[in-house]
Amino acid sequence: MNNKYYFISNFDTNIIDKQDKQTTIIYRNYSSKVINEKLILKLKKYCKLKKINFYLSNNIKLAIKFDLDGAYIPSFNKSTKHLAYSLKKKFNIIGSAHNIKEIKTKEIQKVSSIFISSLFKKNKNYLGINKFKLISNLTKKKVVALGGISKKNRNKLRLLNCSEFAGISFFE
């Protein structure tokens, strides 16, 4: 496995301490309308100490301002404003998609990797292995599996030629 992406919504050192250097932490807190900048800076400092990459979800401008490793654009964000920003060479932008239309939007947004969901989690965006394979073949971007990945089904990722995955419960 290459990279793993772990979505967090709060700062818990116990969980971050359990991660290896191939894990990227993505902070997203959609339940709060107020951005807690002190918390983001605290997370950045802690991740840097642990040599773990740290991305901010849905706020590229703030991720650039705080000199983070990158930013994550969720599927519902269709904005291309960030294309006018000047980015550092090592700054990485990634994003998620649930269907062909959203994949094309992420390509227009110039993300380096597209998180396609939901692979295993049976929600409204459920794809399953076959649809996931079909959709992921429609882009030349690097594809990251998202949704319901557990220690039990992780080996099924080999069927998809997908060496990277993202999630929440897998890491806890």
- CATH classification of the domain holding 128: 3.20.20.70
Instruction: Specify whether the CB–CB gap between 142 and 169 falls below 8 A.
Output: no
Q: Is 172 exposed, middle or buried (0-12, 13-18, 19+ CB in 10 A)?
A: exposed
pLDDT score of 161 more than 80: no
Name the 3-class secondary structure at 9.
coil
Ramachandran angles phi, psi of 168, nearest 5°: -125, -65
With bands split at pLDDT 50, 70 and 90, how would you rate the model's confidence at 154? confident
Percentage of the residues of the chain whose pLDDT score is greater than 70: 99
147-154 long-range CB contacts below 8 Å, 24 or more apart? 147/117, 147/118, 147/119, 147/120, 147/121, 147/123, 148/118, 148/119, 148/120, 148/121, 148/122, 149/119, 149/120, 150/120, 153/120
Domain range enclosing 69: 4-171
Which amino acid belongs to residue 113? S
**Cβ atoms within 10 Å of 140's Cβ, excluding its own:** 7
- Mean pLDDT value across the chain: 92
Instruction: Specify whether the CB–CB gap between 139 and 155 falls below 8 A.
Output: no
pLDDT score of 94 more than 60: yes
pLDDT at 2: 66
pLDDT at 24: 96
pLDDT at 121: 87
Q: Is 52 exposed, middle or buried (0-12, 13-18, 19+ CB in 10 A)?
A: buried
pLDDT score of 1 more than 60: no
Burial 94-120 (b: 16+ CB within 10 A, else e): bbbbbeeebbebbbebebebbbbbbbb
Supply 34's token pair.
């107020």
What is the arithmetic mean of pLDDT over 61-88? 95
CA–CA gap between residue 129 and residue 64 (Å, rounded) = 35
Count the domains in the chain.
1
